[in-house]
Amino acid sequence: MKTRVRFAPSPTGFLHIGGARTALFNWLYARHTGGTFVLRIEDTDVARNSQEAVNVILNGLRWLGLDWDEGPISGDATGPSKGDYGPYFQSQRKENYQRRVEALLSHGLAYEDQGAIKFKMSREPIVIPDLVVGEVRRELTDREQADPDFVIVRSDGQPVFHLVNVVDDLEMNITHVIRGEDHLSNTAKHIALFRAFGVEPPRYAHIPLILNSDGTKMSKRDKGASLTSYMEEGYAPEAVLNYLCLLGWSPKNNREKLSLSEVVEMFDLPQILRHNARFDLTKLTWLNGEYLREMDTERFYELAVQALGRAGLDTTRYPVEYVKAALDTCKGKFKLFSELPAYGGFYFKDEVQYDPEAAKRDFTPENRPRLARLRDALSRLEPFEPDPIGHTLKAVAQELGVKPAVLVHPTRLACCGNTAGPSLYHLLAVLGKTRVLQRLDKALAVIG
RNA sequence: GACCCUAUCGUCUAGCGGUUAGGACACCGCCCUUUCACGGCGGUAGCAGGGGUUCGAGUCCCCUUAGGGUCGCCA
């Protein structure tokens, strides 16, 4: 039988990083087995539903590149979808739930209680066969001992999660339920429901949770809990995806950087780790740097321009060739696009702001004549290119009897405003003689 | 309160009865170097604790401890 898995998020206006990882593992398993990845929107909670909230999920999955074989095409619950098991919004599946509830009622497996409908839950422990955790024998808690039955339809007529989730999985022919471990205890209810409908439940695989770096639960308020924050910080989706693969799963061959197709090849449910993992932003950032370094230049250019735009730096004011040359000197030198404005923003500003500490150290009275001497030499330099610039600087340094670094630091500060940046000779060449002389003149004036 | 899951360097992990406990991030040195990075070399650091089983335990069992999850007319 063909594998059918699903990712079934609730549209809350937020895509949790753990949810993204759940989606990824489902997607990986579908691709590994040649099965079908279904996206189903669990929008039963009408109070907090909106098309916008659904779009957050769709956009997040699309950004990651996790394409679904069946599911909605847009955030519109009544809009078009793909697949033969629709609709894929629970808000559009009311009749199914009603029909199923009536069946339970007529078989005496459910009953009305104070306007709500409750399911007659098993009084015996239920064994949950789990592909990740193993066989779990779920005993009743003390509260469940007192009343094991649970509500499946609220008194306002709305069916609840446990019911709709099971009905949909059943009717959509889901073969494997891969979800967060927070659902493990509830799975007993789901299994009982499947049996009440006269079918065997799907196979379950409960994956460990992602925790904050301090080991506490990652809640909506925590920084980094939302996928959107990574999209906005300028992470590359392939890096985020790669990092997420390494949380709770391992290729076992000491490799860290893996292409998605390699993971698809190797991925399987039984090797998923059983313990929770802490989210290590530093390692993700390192991995992102690895991806940026190897990113093809066109894509780097595109993402870099976006990042500069977000920081209010308008690259369209400059010739395309200038922008590309400028970005070439920055590529591979930082790990996050959000670092770019500070790193290479000087290319796209009319005035540079000097780092106060550096200015105090490098814009000294004794450096003024040295800088003036270099300015003079550069003004006569032709062509204004990296190698000649380097030779000129070294020659001037030698004439002055100082190390090149004595000239390098104030020159960099004058042209970039800070102490870290692209190769000095290359950045000067890209800026061009006119801008460089202007900036040196300004610095000389500042030094006084 | 009850029930369930989990436990190897600070973090992510390899290990599936016999290993000098391996790798990666981070950190610390040294080298490279026009800054910052990259890269190269080296280093610090771990089997939560206690009982068993076994000739032999990080690996199997039990207890404790710790962390996480669940017990809703939320999903």
A342 touches strand B (CB under 7 A): no
pLDDT digits (tens, 9 = 90+) for A210-227: 999 888 888 777 888 899
The structure tokens 């860290």 sit at A256
Whether A120 is covered by a domain: the verdict is no
Whether A434 is covered by a domain: the verdict is yes
Whether A443 is covered by a domain: the verdict is yes
Whether A22 is covered by a domain: the verdict is no
* pLDDT average, residue stretch A56-63: 96
- For residue A376, the domain's CATH number is 1.10.10.350
Owning domain of residue A415: 356-447
Give the pLDDT score at A144.
94
Q: What is the mean pLDDT of chain A?
A: 94
- C-alpha A254/C-alpha A343 separation (Å) is 33
* pLDDT average, residue stretch A277-302: 96
Q: With a cut of 60, say whether residue A47 has pLDDT above it.
A: no
Alpha-carbon distances, residue A293 vs A8, A235, A334 (angstroms):
35, 13, 8
Whether A409 is covered by a domain: the verdict is yes
Q: With a cut of 70, say whether residue A48 has pLDDT above it.
A: no
The structure tokens 């898995």 sit at A5
pLDDT digits (tens, 9 = 90+) for A420-445: 999 999 999 999 999 999 999 999 99
Give the pLDDT score at A427.
97
pLDDT digits (tens, 9 = 90+) for A77-115: 899 999 999 899 999 999 999 999 999 999 999 999 999
Determine the distance between A89 (CA) and B25 (C1') in angstroms.
41
Whether A156 is covered by a domain: the verdict is no
Q: By the 8 A CB rule, do A159 and A44 touch? A: yes
Question: Are β-strands A71-72 and A210-211 bridged in parallel, bridged antiparallel, or unpaired?
Answer: unpaired
Give the pLDDT score at A447.
86
Give the pLDDT score at A220.
77
* pLDDT average, residue stretch A324-338: 96
Spatial strand order in the sheet of A116-119? A110-113, A116-119, A150-153
Whether A174 is covered by a domain: the verdict is no
pLDDT digits (tens, 9 = 90+) for A255-284: 999 999 999 999 999 999 999 999 999 999
Determine the distance between A294 (CA) and B16 (C1') in angstroms.
36
Whether A393 is covered by a domain: the verdict is yes
Alpha-carbon distances, residue A129 vs A23, A171, A203 (angstroms):
21, 21, 8
- Nucleotide nearest A187 (Cα, C1'): B70
- C-alpha A321/C-alpha A252 separation (Å) is 44
Q: With a cut of 60, say whether residue A342 has pLDDT above it.
A: yes
pLDDT digits (tens, 9 = 90+) for A171-183: 999 999 999 999 9
Give the pLDDT score at A448.
78
In chain A, the number of structural domains is 1
Assess whether A220 carries a catalytic annotation: yes
Q: By the 8 A CB rule, do A423 and A325 touch? A: no
- C-alpha A364/C-alpha A448 separation (Å) is 9
Q: By the 8 A CB rule, do A148 and A123 touch? A: yes
Give the pLDDT score at A221.
76
A 137-196 residues, CB < 7 A, strand B? 137-144, 150-151, 154-156, 158, 160-162, 181-186
Give the pLDDT score at A307.
94
The set of strand B positions with any atom below 7 Å of a protein CB reads: 1-8, 10-15, 22-26, 34-38, 67-75
Give the pLDDT score at A224.
84
Q: By the 8 A CB rule, do A224 and A282 touch? A: no
A405 touches strand B (CB under 7 A): yes
Q: In this structure, which amino acid lies at residue A390?
A: G
Instruction: Give the residue from A247, A235, A297, A296 showing the smallest Cα distance to A273.
Output: A247
A232 touches strand B (CB under 7 A): no
- Nucleotide nearest A293 (Cα, C1'): B38
Count of other CB atoms within 10 angstroms of residue A213: 13
Task: Provide ipTM, 2 decimals.
Answer: 0.95
Predicted TM-score (pTM) of the model is 0.93
